[in-house]
Amino acid sequence: MKGRAGAGYSYCPACRSAKRKLEWKTNRDSHRRTTYGLEPEEYERILAAQGGACAICTQPFRLENRRALAVDHCHETGRVRGLLCQPCNTVLGLMEDNPVLLRKAAAYLEP
């Protein structure tokens, strides 16, 4: 819908927001397809198999957070392992996907 867009935009705020959401979803799906070979249907299947939650912390995915769960994958083989929330994905990345380091970190946290 074009109309009183204002501020140099050719779309009203509501239409601009809808357009941005569609572009965001299209770009995200395209990125998953080219980077991981993961079609949108496969992402949804994995998400459903995980109960709609992060594979590690099991926090439910909420669309209103706007951040989809990250595709976790093995950097050596490229195999998709599951879907993770941003914090869990970041922890694995910072620990370089090293199970020894992760076990040491867990042992450190134990009383």
Phi, psi of 83 (to 5 degrees): -115, 135
Q: Band the pLDDT of 62: cuts 50, 70, 90.
A: confident
Is residue 94 within 8 A of residue 88, CB to CB? The reply is: no
42 domain-assigned:
yes
Report how far residue 111's alpha carbon sits from residue 105's, in angstroms, rounded to the nearest whole number.
12
The pLDDT tens digits for 4-21 are 555 566 778 777 766 666
15 domain-assigned:
no
**Which of 27, 34, 22, 32 lies closest to 83 in space, CA to CA?**
32
5 domain-assigned:
no
Give the residue numbers spanning the domain of 92: 38-109
Which domain CATH number covers 61?
3.40.1800.10
Q: Give SS3 for 2.
A: coil
73 domain-assigned:
yes
Domain count, the chain: 1
Question: In the predicted model, what is the mean pLDDT of the chain?
Answer: 85
Q: What is the pLDDT of residue 15?
A: 74
Structure tokens at 53: 């939650």
Q: How far apart are the first and last CA of the chain?
A: 59
The pLDDT tens digits for 68-101 are 899 999 988 999 999 999 999 999 999 999 999 9
89 domain-assigned:
yes
